[in-house]
Structures are given as structure tokens and as C-alpha cells.
Chains A and B, each alone.
Chain A
Amino acid sequence: MPRNGYFLPIVAVLGYAFLYAPIISLIVYSFNESQLVTVWSGFSTKWYGKLLQDSQILQAAWLSLKIAFSSATLALCLGTLAALVLTRFGKFRIKSLLGGMVTAPLVMPEVITGLSLLLLFIAMESLFGWPKGRGITTIILAHTTFCMAFVAVVVQSRLVSMDESLEEAAQDLGATPLRVFTDVTLPVISPALVSGWLLAFTLSVDDLVISSFVSGPGSTTLPMVIFSKVRLGVSPEVNALATIIISIVALAVFAGGWRAFSVDKKRNAVGAQTE
């Protein structure tokens, strides 16, 4: 029986309804026969068929996935290094500079990041001849740069909350600093590394603004295609695409949650045994 009466549960239910109503409508109307997305005229899966034949969308999707994979991996490496340096390396001369550069992308409007990177690439091209034109390379460079800030935040928070005496113990037992990192630090922060990578991947796959600035002919990402389609109005193909994406994400989130839940259960069971 809720302590404060029914106020909280009602607000919570309304809140969740608010959160999910648009998502559910996307899914429901992807099965709508009619082109007019919001006027129901019968059940049909034809839009999924059309989607799978739309080479523009499919190519863009594949491109976005490739870019996201590379950017996320690069961002993970760079972001982890930055986080490590900022939390474990004590004081050094350029610490505030690095700290500032790492956290700035978090508050920087994407239009500014996109604009500045495009102008950089143009200047670089005229000075060094690289990067040649705008395309996959420039998008990956741009995504890596802004994603590494998010990775750094996630990894940094895990490093800070981690028991530093674990690393000291390893040192005390004969491990050099590099070995301490590989033997102890990395395994202990690995959940943060996974979330960091997933976060970077999601940010890259979803990015519109920065990609719009730094992409070139032949490197149109999925968000760019979707954006140009929806500017012209509603499109049931996009609904179908949305449903597919939502389903994948929902499966992944529930699978991850389920796994964490069962690992916890096992741990508690064994722990109870030893008491």
C-alpha cells in the first residue's frame, strides 16, 4: 500500500505512458495498410517489404554500422587512456588542458563541433592533401572525437569508485605499472568499458548534425537519409525501420538486464552458503 496514497503511482503510470505512447504508435502504424500513417486502414506488412528493397536506406544503414563500429572502438581506446591519465597519473603540467578538452564536447552544441571539424578538414586538405574530400574517414574522425568524451566520463567514474588498494596490492606483489593495468585495472573496469563502447556506438549511429557537416558524396549515413525523408512528411517505411530498431534495442536491453539479474542471484546464493 503506497505510503503517500495514489498520487505517486498515478503520476508514474502517466509518465511511463507519455514515454512509450509515441514509440508504440510508431510500431502500430508501421503495420498500417494506408500511406497516411495516422489513419488506420488495415493490417499490412508491406512497408517492411518496401523497406528491405530500399537500397538507399539499406546502404546508409550498413555505412552507419561500419562507421559506428570503428568510431566506438577508437573512442574506447582514446577515452580510456584519457580517463586513466586524468584519474591515476597524479599531477602533470597539461592536466587541466586535457581535462578541459575531454569534458568540453559534452557541453558543446553539435553544430559547433560539426562546423569546426569541417573547416579543419578543408584546411588540412589544402595544406597536406589529406583527408582527401569528405567521406567515411572524416566521419569516423569526427565521431571518435566527440564520442571519446562520453567514454572518458563513463570510465573515469568507474576508475574513481574503484578500490585503489587493488592496484597497490598488485604493485606490492611485484607487478610493474603496465602489468597492474592489464592484470587488475582492466578486468575490474571491464563493465564500464562495455557500457562506454555501447554508448559511443549508439551516439555514432544516431548522429545527424556532425555527420551532415563532415560527410561527402557517397557517404550518406542512416540518420541523414531518415532526416531528408521525414522533412517531407510522414513515411511508413520510416515507421517500419523504427520498429526494427526498437525491437533490436529492446531485446539487447532485456538480455543485458536478465544476465545481470541472474549473475546477481547466483552470487547471493553462494554468498549465503558461506556465512
Chain B
Amino acid sequence: MQINHYAPLRATATLFGRLGLSGRSLVIAVPTLWLFVFFLIPFFVVAKISLSKATISQPPFLPLYEWTSDGSLKFNVFFSNYQFLFSDPLYVNAYLNSIKIALISTIIALLIGYPIAYYIARSSESRRNMLLMLIILPFWTSFLLRVYAWIGFLKSNGLVNNFLLQTGLISQPLVMLQTDFAVYTGIVYNYLPFMILPLYANLVKFDSTLLEAASDLGARPIVTFFTVTLPLSFPGIIAGSMLVLIPAIGEFVIPSLLGGPDTLMIGRVLLDEFFPNRDWPVASALAIAILVVFVIPIMILRKALGAQIEVH
């Protein structure tokens, strides 16, 4: 019954098997090795540099070890960068500020996005696809350009001010650019699709008979919303909020283009340490600090939340 086209392949496989390789382990190895080299190892490099000191050289930091003139091995390991991070309030403030801005933006995005997602979920099926396409479309255009668009809106002689001045609502142009307000606007605007889509995905699976049951038992629409719909859409709210909050904390482009000199966000601070200041060790230390204080807790949280959502 078996026609053996596979004989030569089988022979190779047996050879590989003897070498401890198998098709299966090769397939596992390829992405693992790539990520190990290009994702994991860089963090070790960063950690190593964070323990060094900035110098005027190429590259601009002291090597980990060097042979001194009298033939002995000298290690250049300093923890001063980390001390510096915590002693200078700039960094801690920037981090806390980032969280604050991201959090507020997330809440605003939720308040705007929820009704929109709800509206789409309640629409007829043919309209739904059209409406969804319109939400997704901005996401596929350039992030950078969409932030840029707000510059035109929020400048002193920009569209919003022109409109307000012409209609006489104000007499002096409002300062909107280079402020926290502009950053909030930028983040909410750019990340709105990320809030709407998970909310929609949750709301669209909603069993409308639950609403009918509530109504039948005497609840007014508003009450039904708060006691039935809202609690059941909780997973969607969490998913959407995470998709906005987490990237927003590390944002660089939006605070850079729309924010002012006081709008400190940690992403921008890190880049400023690296490029204009050329202090690679401090930038590296900052990166490690962000990893430890932010990224790793988030990953642990996601795993824990993911397990909970699966239980649901």
C-alpha cells in the first residue's frame, strides 16, 4: 500500500535523528534562535553598557574590561548610573508623568470609544462591515502623518483657532500646541481604533436575549445597560484599555511633535539621553530600569489576566 517516495527523506531524517536533530526541533529552533539573538541578547548588551561610564570615544563608553599598562586586568563596572536615575527627579517624574498621561488618555478613549463600539455592534450586519472598515482605515495610514495633522489643527494660527476667532468665541488664539492637552488629543486620536475594536468584538457577541430578559423583569434601558451590558463587556474594556495604555506610556512621536518642553514622557527622555546627550550608559540604565519597573510587571500581569480570561 505504501509507495515509498519518501525513502531518501527518511534516510536524511534518520541521520538528523542520530545527530539529535529532528524536523520538529529544527522548526522550533529557527524562530527561537532568531529571537534569542536579536531580542534577548541585546538586553544583556544594554545591561552591560548600563554598568559603564560615558566617555569621549568611539563608542562613547568605557569597555567592560581592559588591560592596563602594567599588565593587569581592570574592570569598569559602575552602578552610579542607576543611582543617578533615582537621585535626579527628572527620570522618576518623567515615568510617573507618562503613566498619568497614558492613564487619562485611556479613560478618555474609553469614554469616546465605548458608545461608538456599541453603536456599530447594534447596527445591521451590512452596515457593520462598512462602519468597521471606516474605523480600521485610519489605522492603516501613517501614524506619523496623523499626528502631524493635529499640528495644523492646534497651532496658534491653526484651524481650530481660526474657527474660534472667526466666530467670535474667543478674542485671543488659544495655546493648544506644545501642551499636555495636545498630547492627550494625539494619544486618544491615534489609539482610538485600538480601543474600539476589542470593545466591538466583545459587544457584538452579546446575546440580545439577555437584554430582553432584563427588560421583561422590569429594568429600564439605562438600568439594563449598567447592570447587564457593562459588566459583561468588562473583558473588552480591559483588552481595549491595555492596547491603549501600554504603548502610550512609552510613546515618543506624540510628545515629541505635540508636547511642550515640560511634557516629559519617558520614551522621549530616553531618546534625548541617547542622541543629543550621547550618554549611552545612562540611557541604557534607564532602559533596564523601564524594563524592570514597567515591562516585566506588564508581562506578568498579561499572563495572569490571560489565564483569567480563558477561565471565563
Contact residues of A between 78 and 127, Cβ < 8 Å to B:
78-79, 81-82, 84-85, 89, 92, 94, 97-98, 100-105, 107-112, 115-117, 119-120, 122-123
Which A residues touch B291, using CB under 8 A? 112
Which A residues touch B136, using CB under 8 A? 253
Chain A proximity mask over B11-30: 1 for CB below 8 Å, otherwise 0: 00000000000011001101
| Alpha-carbon gap, A29 to B299, bound state (A) | 43
A5 to chain B: closest residue by CB = B221
Which A residues touch B143, using CB under 8 A? 206
Contact residues of B between 92 and 132, Cβ < 8 Å to A:
112-113, 115-116, 118-120, 122, 129-130
A82 to chain B: closest residue by CB = B31
Interface of A is mostly: helix
Stretch from B67-75, B77-85, B144-152, B232-240 at the A interface: B144-152
Rounded to whole Å, the gap between the CB of A131 and the closest CB of chain B is: 11
Q: With A18-B112, A234-B151 known to touch, is A9 a contact of B252 (CB < 8 Å)?
A: no
Which B residues touch A9, using CB under 8 A? 119
Which B residues touch A166, using CB under 8 A? none
Stretch from A43-51, A65-73, A183-191, A241-249 at the B interface: A241-249
Q: Is the CB of B257 within 8 A of A231?
A: yes
Let me know if B290 is at the binding interface, CB within 8 A. Answer: yes
Contact residues of A between 24 and 78, Cβ < 8 Å to B:
25-26, 29, 36-39, 78
Which B residues touch A218, using CB under 8 A? none
Inter-chain residue pair count (beta carbon < 8 A) = 234
| Alpha-carbon gap, A249 to B122, bound state (A) | 27
Q: Is the CB of B157 within 8 A of A38?
A: yes
Task: Give me 9 A-to-B residue pairs in the complex whose CB atoms sit less than 8 angstroms apart, sorted by A's number.
Answer: A18-B192, A22-B150, A26-B148, A101-B35, A103-B299, A111-B267, A115-B46, A120-B38, A206-B142
Q: Residues of A with Cβ closer than 8 Å to B?
A: 3-4, 7-9, 11-12, 15-16, 18-23, 25-26, 29, 36-39, 78-79, 81-82, 84-85, 89, 92, 94, 97-98, 100-105, 107-112, 115-117, 119-120, 122-123, 141-142, 144-145, 148, 176-178, 202, 205-206, 208-209, 212-213, 223, 226-227, 230-231, 233-234, 238, 241-242, 245-246, 249-250, 252-254, 257, 260-261
Q: Residues of B with Cβ closer than 8 Å to A?
A: 6, 23-24, 27-28, 30-32, 34-36, 38-43, 45-46, 49, 59, 112-113, 115-116, 118-120, 122, 129-130, 133-138, 140-146, 148-153, 155, 157-159, 162, 189, 192, 221, 246-247, 249-253, 256-257, 266-267, 270-271, 274, 280, 283-284, 287, 290-291, 294-295, 298-299, 302
Other contacts beyond A23-B138, A104-B295: 13, CB < 8 A: A11-B116, A37-B152, A82-B35, A89-B24, A109-B247, A116-B43, A144-B34, A145-B35, A213-B274, A234-B148, A241-B145, A246-B141, A254-B133
